[in-house]
Structure 1
Amino acid sequence: MKTSPPLDAPTRGWALLTTALALLPLLLQLPAVLAVGYAIAAIAVAALAWRHTVPMSLRLLLIAVMLVAIYWQMGPRPGRDSGCALLAAMLAIKSSELRTLRDARSLLGFALFAPFSAFLLDQGPGTLLLALAAVISTLLSLQRIADGEAGRASAAITQQLRVVGRLMVVALPLALAAFWLVPRLPTPLWGIPERAVGRPGLSDTMQPGEWIDLMADDSPALRAQFFGPVPAASQRYWRGPVLTRFDGRAWTRLDSQRHTAAPRLVAADVRWDYQIEYEPTERRQLVALDLPTTAPADTQLDADYSLTSRRPLTALTRWRLQSTSYRQFQPDLPPLLRQQALQLPPGFNPRTQALGRQWRSEAGGDEAAIVQRALQWITGEFAYTLETPLAGRHSADEFLFEQKAGFCEHFSSAFVVLMRSAGIPARVVTGYAGGVRNRFGDYWVVRKMDAHAWSEVWLSGRGWVRVDPTAAVATERIYDTLEDRLGRANAGGFDVAGQWNQLAQLGDWMRRGWNDMVLSFDARRQQQLLRPLGIERLQPAQLIALFAVLALLTVGAMIRLLARGERERDPLLRAWHRLGARYTRLGLAREPHESATAWAQRVEEKHPGSDLPLLSQRFSDARYAGAQSDLASLLADLRRHRPKPGART
């Protein structure tokens, strides 16, 4: 087997730079601890392997440490993110085998898996741009490797970039044709559609301390666009899971409600028509403006008026919804559900239960007065803060009688316990509250930090009624956002926070455009691609046929461009071809069977005094006989030469 030439320092540097560019988009999608650890390992291995062979024992140790780190961060359950983390770990130590040009080509081929694997975790424009940079760097590095194997010096970087640019321009139509015309599949291509580590988001449970990470995340949870009236701030509650069962610490959903039809609802006159873009959560839970009237296709509306998707939400999804305000919501409460909405575990929160029984005896049958009394107590004595210690066994007692400070998780939970203690059916509702209008796109952004929990109490004649105990203390947390408050700051001078908020809104508007053009291009939109031309629906066979035609045209153009680029890589040959093109325009083209000398002689016989035979001889000597003495002057003469006036066939 022929031995591959050893790597020179510049080619090694290009290979390592390309590997780093390929690894970067993948690292940005992994947990920070893993990403930093892999980056440090990759730099250390590359530095050590630059001059010395990395011992096998050290490589095995690094592999073991990385596997332990993946298990520590992601657990034993396999998923897309754990698979990507394993790929990043392998790529981080792959440079330890970098010795020859063949090794460099192998490393580059392996590195290209990284940016494309990053698309399994994120399909944003940032990931695309980083992947494109890695691909361009890979093509440049492969050019250097090819030059090294051929034993020739690499061309200038500007010329290499021109060649790569032509390749990218030719490949772009093929990529667009594949995006538009390859029939979309209803399910993902990868075998494991879920992630090993869940993303922050709403879940079927709520327990002390669980919401801190979610409320610290300012990334978008959903974007909503209204068609017609926009609900007032006090009505922008985005309903998610409804939690009824309480074990003294955690709130969970009732399984019986998931498979029961939605109960009777007496709607008011106000209705809202809107569309939401829901960010991927890897779960099935959806949210809708309180209360949704119908369930869109592929979703289910349960007895709690919570929406659930039939498939995990692994990608951005769009849903057209209608919601309404209501006069009565389940005015006839089934006995079993009443019992469950009054259930309290024995041995928990004795002070809260005693207070509830006392208020009931004092109010008699006026349940609305009990609710109002609790809200007045909260308004007068309670504060809103995230700095709250983790609750102990008697969480409601500790919050209501000792701390008197917390956030929505504490307020909603303690309020429901208090209402149940007073004999009023109650439950916790989770979701989001509020939202900020994007001035550039006229839509509303609801962020994960807008996650909220409120209460519902059942009152005779009205049914379930929304009560938000947190709003009694921190109105701005419900009807306002951190971005609004920052925008009003520094009104007397230069508003740095407000300017940043405007840039953030512009960035989100651009991201929404990307979502609309790229991520939301589904099978339905694909089949309607030629509707402007009068073709209502494209069948899969028609899509494949169109793609095949465009692919053949593109590949043909690519082959022609590559062949031409290879022929004209030599500046001397390029100058000679351009000279020939000038004669071709006059009808004096060189025939395929003619040599350069024979063609020049034919032109000279028809049009004496052209000096073409002398130039042809000098070109042949320089090109084929190795005469390099007057190469610079020959190039100049070839570029200056023009056919004599009147030189036509």
Structure 2
Amino acid sequence: MAMDPAARRWSLVAAGACALPLLRLLPPALAAVLAGVGLLGAVSAFRRPWPSWLRLVMTLALAAAVLFAFDFRFGRDTGCALLMAMLMLKCGETAHLRDGRSLVGFGLFAAFAAFLQDQGPITLVLAAPAALLALAASQRLAESEAGLEAPPRVGPRLRQALLAVAIALPLALAAFWLFPRLPSPLWGVPENALAKTGIDDRMSPGEWIDLLADDSPAFRVRFFGAPPPSGQMYWRGPVLWQFDGRTWTRWDGMSYLEPPQVDYADAAVRYEITQEPTERRFMFALDLPESVPEGARLGVDLSPIAARPIRSLTRYTLESAPPVRFEPELRRATRDMALRLPAEFNPRTVAMARAWREEGLDDAAIVRRALEMYRRDFSYTLAAPPLGRDSVDEFLFDTRAGFCEHYSSSFAVLMRAAGIPTRVVTGYVGGYRNPFGDYWLVRQSEAHAWNEVWLAGRGWTRVDPTAAVAPERILNTVNDLGDGGGGGGMRPMLDIGDWLRRGWNDLVLGFDAARQSLLLQPFGIERASGWQVGLAFAAVAGLILLASLLLMLRERAPPGDPVLVAWRRFTRRFARTPVPKPAHEPALAWAWRAAEALPADAARIRSLTARFVAARYAPAQSEAGTDAALVRDLRRFRLSSRP
């Protein structure tokens, strides 16, 4: 059946609205191309539809463009982009009602697919109105199929769609709160999140330049007491031991070692971290963690490690305190790894460190000598020049400008060459206190690397060579690194936006299986199991469905309604014709079929059906006495001839 212009407009508007949530997540150039194709298709649908050969060519071209944009990698993001390409092409093919139904259904699927990549509030704000428009478009398509005229106003149609959503909302909320949850989502973490994981388990010169320019959140922190000074907020992550001459990596052979002895100070701090997904097991803790949450463990270097990769927003509580002595007795295996350097790399650095040792300097004096050298002769910049094979030599003797990767790497090589056990600690430093939510935001741009040296009598001691560079000599070329007050006059708006995002995380994204198990505490169940939560969902869903059924029964006409009795008698006359009326089929849709099958009675069938629909569903608009006339005419109806 051909689609009328009103139904076509509704379908195209709904498809465009459904495309927005996913379009904003695609690469900008690809999104612009796909949006242009969809707009051209919508315009051509009202003029001259695209021929089949052109649709084929455009399909192949868009598929190639999507694969090129994603470097020919097949995955979820590529699949979502291909889905969007097919939706935009479908906008140019809206000749029949089945095309409209396909377009609207396809659009709804695309809107929901956006949540596979981003579950933030912006996606919801875009997807919810789009779903409402799709419901309204589906209603118009059904009316078009029944031969009804399009109403002149848009408001009543949107109100009907909103009413349908309101009816389904209680069951949807019950499913969200009570349907048993998996420990992690089936689809894992979006691929774009994998490309921006933040701290990794490896570090090479210049590798963090994009990370240090990224202001997206790494995690948020809520302290249960007074927080430490921001300058002392070193958030400990992966500890790097092995060096191949250019890249630092973790020590894979340390898993069999027990955590070392640590004497903590009395000033313990308790806090809660809400960490963004990373697809890695690294957790972050304020130096040094005393305890970790259930299921996690502390490595031999006291880096916190989760039981499984962090694929969704994760909340955990920790306690930390400054160390008085951190592993005062160094094990042989640990000492050997903390002194190891590759042969025939960075000879000038090794020679300088050995010369310092030959001067008779002790370990602490060598550390001070290195920090004084950095403070006097070096500068901080994110625009560090690339380094070659002997990266530490080139940094210390040639370029003398870089950021935390360069300083921590070169300092570790210097100390090891001088015989001082040293390792590189990666994580974050500082943070910004959001006054609207009384929590601290730690961003990816606050990623940092520092060192720990082992000194006799003290154990592992934190040394930050980057901090030795004078602040007035720092050359920031991207943004003010770690400047929580950035944003100028927009700072309050940014704070409110992040506070709202945190609330969304707490209420929606952070509602996991652990929090769900606490829902039944008011009923005396401390930690509900999966079957108890499922039973609660079944009970609530049953009550909602029962209430809906009772409301529907109240809306039905009483058995003695003369109009309904006459209508049922009227439709029974067609029981032995080719077009008997099923109970589930709408009156107007059945009348359309009956009129086509029985042309001799077509006019009377359509007229009586239209009058019945008006009497049943628009009684306020019916004139006095029309019901009695309708009942009389329905009873008098006879088929012109038996088919």
TM-score, normalised on structure 1?
0.81
Contact 1:195 1:282 in 2 (8 A): no
> Take 1:459 and 1:626, find their aligned partners in 2: how far apart are those partners?
90
Q: Residue 127 and residue 291 in structure 1: after superposition, are their counterparts in 2 closer, same or farther (change >3 A)?
A: same
Distance in 1 between residues matched to 2:397 and 2:564, nearest whole Å: 104
Give runs of aligned pairs for residues 404-553 of structure 1, distance below 5 A.
Answer: 404-473=400-469, 482=480, 487=485, 497-553=487-543
5+ residue gaps, structure 2 = 566-606, 626-643
- TM superposition shift of 1:152: 1.2
C-alpha distance in structure 2 between counterparts of 1:282 and 1:389, whole Å: 31
- CA offsets, 1:327-372, max 9 Å, x none? 222222223332322222233222222211111112x251111111
| Cα deviation, residue 299, structure 1 | 1.8
Deviates further, 51-60 or 556-565:
556-565
Q: Write out per-residue CA displacement over residues 268-294 of structure 1, whole angstroms, 9 at most, x where no aligned residue.
A: 222111110001112222111111122
Aligned equivalents of 1:275, 1:532: Cα separation in 2? 24
Q: Give me the whole-angstrom Cα distance separating, in 2, the residues matched to 1:503 and 1:444.
A: 16
Distance 2:209 2:417 in 1: 28
Q: How much does 1:66 deviate? A: 4.4
| Whole-Å separation in 1 of the counterparts to 2:614 and 2:269 | 82
Letter of the 1:536 partner, please give it.
Answer: E
Q: Counterpart in 2 of 1:94?
A: 90
Match of 1:243 among 230, 237, 240: 240
Q: Deviations over 1:528-580 (max 9, x none)?
A: 21323444344444433443343344345556778999x9xxxxxxxxxxxxx
Q: Which residue of 2 aligns with 1:284?
A: 281
Q: What's the counterpart of residue 157 of structure 2? A: 160
Match of 2:640 in 1: none
Identity of aligned residues (%): 49
Aligned to 2:395: 399
Distance 1:597 1:270, change over 3 A: closer
* Residue equivalent to 1:574: none
Q: What is the deviation of 1:421?
A: 2.2
178-187 or 343-352: bigger deviation: 343-352
Q: Is the 1:248–1:394 contact (alpha carbons within 8 Å) kept by the matching residues of 2?
A: yes
What's 1:11 paired with? Answer: 7
1:295/1:307 contact within 8 Å kept: yes
- Decide whether aligned partners of structure 1 residues 328 and 546 sit closer, same or farther in structure 2, where only a CA change above 3 A counts: closer
Q: 2:143 aligns with which of 147, 156, 179?
A: 147
Letter in 1 for 2:206: G
Written as runs of structure 1 = structure 2, the 5 A alignment for 1:40-79 is 40-48=36-44, 50-74=46-70, 78-79=74-75
Structure 1 374/542 Cα, relative in aligned 2: closer, same or farther at 3 Å?
closer
1:468 shift after superposition: 0.6
Name 1:595's counterpart in structure 2: 562
Q: Call closer, same or farther: CA 1:198–1:621 in 2, change over 3 Å.
A: closer
Deviations 1:22-45 (A, max 9, x none): 222123333444434433343344
Determine helix, strand or coil for the equivalent of 1:153: coil
Aligned AA for 2:465?
P
Distance 2:63 2:96 in 1: 28
Q: Structure 1 stretches of 5 or more lacking a match?
A: 489-496, 568-589, 599-619, 639-649
What is the match of residue 611 of structure 1?
none
1:141-179: CA deviation from partner (whole Å, max 9, x where unpaired): 111111211111122211112211211211110111111
Q: Which residue of 2 aligns with 1:27?
A: 23
Query: Structure 2 CA distance, aligned partners of 1:88 and 1:621?
Result: 45
1:333-352 paired onto structure 2 within 5 Å: 333-352=330-349
Aligned-partner Cα distance in 1 for 2:302–2:500: 33
Q: Say whether 1:231 aligns with 2:228.
A: yes
**8 A contact 1:259–1:302 mirrored in 2:** no
1:225-374 alignment runs, 5 A limit: 225-362=222-359, 364-374=360-370
Q: Kindly indicate whether the alpha-carbon contact (under 8 Å) linking 1:27 and 1:35 is maintained by their aligned counterparts in 2.
A: yes
- In terms of mean alpha carbon deviation, does 274-283 or 510-519 score higher? 510-519
* Partner AA of 1:595 in structure 2: P
- The aligned amino acid for 1:188 is P
2:576 maps to what in 1?
Answer: none
Matches within 5 A, 1:171-250: 171-190=168-187, 195=191, 197-250=194-247
CA contact under 8 A between 2:136 and 2:160: conserved in structure 1?
Answer: no
1:306 counterpart letter in structure 2: S
User: Residue in 1 aligned with 2:602?
Assistant: none
Taking structure 1 as reference, are residues 457 and 537 closer, same or farther at Cα in structure 2, changes over 3 Å only? closer
Matches of 1:273 and 1:285, distance apart in 2: 19
**1:349, 1:396 within 8 Å by CA — same for their partners in 2?**
yes
Q: Give 3-state SS (helix, strand or coil) of 2:293's partner.
A: coil
**CA–CA distance in 2 between the matches of 1:71 and 1:317?**
33
> Which secondary structure does the structure 2 equivalent of 1:458 belong to?
strand
CA RMSD of aligned residues (A): 3.4
Matched-pair contact (CA < 8 Å) for 1:25–1:131: yes
Farther-moved stretch of structure 1 (344-353 vs 66-75) = 66-75
CA distance in 1, matches of 2:110, 2:531: 33
Distance change in 2, residues 1:275/1:621 (3 Å): closer
1:291-318 CA-to-partner distances (Å, cap 9, x unmatched) read 1122322223211211222222111000
The one-letter amino acid of 1:508's match is D
Asked if 1:129 corresponds to 2:125, the answer is: yes
Query: 1:387-440, CA deviations, whole angstroms, 9 ceiling, x for partnerless residues?
Result: 112212222222222222211111111111222222222121111000011111
Q: One-letter code of the match for 2:228?
A: P
